[in-house]
Amino acid sequence: MDTANVQDNPELLEMHLDYDGGNTLREAVRWSKFLSIVGIAGIGLLLAVGLIATPYVLNGYGQLTPDSEGIIDVLLIALALYFGALIAAAILLLRFSRLTKKGMDHEDQHIFNRGLKSLRITFMILGILSCLSLLGLLFSLIYPM
């Protein structure tokens, strides 16, 4: 077990990407590429269907009051931003997989670090969206429409 003492060694960190970690990361990168492509395609399809269906759905509700129209506009904008953020997260996940694989293939520390940076931003976006989703779910349970 590599438990190098920080005080004994001049370098702060002695961890590296070894055989075990590297193969594990390769497989993670492969799956994350698949997930990001499916995510981008799925969300794009949802947005396209939503854009086409929205006028028909709104017509189905009949004549709306000015207040209701305002709320629906806000909801539509919120949904568009939500799905936009999801697509951004999926693109960043794709970036993580491409840059990390490239970094490992060429043993380029800088490219590898850029991959990790993309993964950090992906989790940050997903964390914020999860929080908003949970708040929205609790709000809809307390104040059902």
Partner 1 sequence: MADTTQNSLFELSIDHESVGYLTETARWSKFLAIVGFVTCGLIAIFSFFAGSFLANSPVLAAYPAAEVQTMSTIGGAFLTVLYLIIAVVYFFPCLYLYRYSVRMKEALNTNDQVKLNQSLKNQKMLFRYVGIVTIIAVSLEAMALIIFGVAAMLVTPR
Residues binding partner 1 (CB under 8 A)? 1-4, 6, 12-25, 27-28, 31-32, 34-35, 38, 103-104, 107, 109, 112-113, 116-117, 119-120, 123-124, 126-127, 130-131, 133-134, 137
Q: Say if CB 114 and CB 123 are below 8 A apart.
A: no
Distance of closest approach, residue 134 Cβ to partner 1, in angstroms: 6
Count CB-CB contacts under 10 A for residue 29: 21
Distance of closest approach, residue 132 Cβ to partner 1, in angstroms: 10
Q: Say if CB 24 and CB 32 are below 8 A apart.
A: no
Nearer to partner 1, 73 or 105 (CB): 105
In one letter, which amino acid is 13? L
As a whole number of angstroms, the distance between CA 135 and CA 128 comes to 11
Distance of closest approach, residue 16 Cβ to partner 1, in angstroms: 4
Distance of closest approach, residue 124 Cβ to partner 1, in angstroms: 5
Q: Say if CB 36 and CB 93 are below 8 A apart.
A: yes
Nearer to partner 1, 55 or 61 (CB): 61
Nearer to partner 1, 22 or 70 (CB): 22
Residue indicated by tokens 């269907």? 49
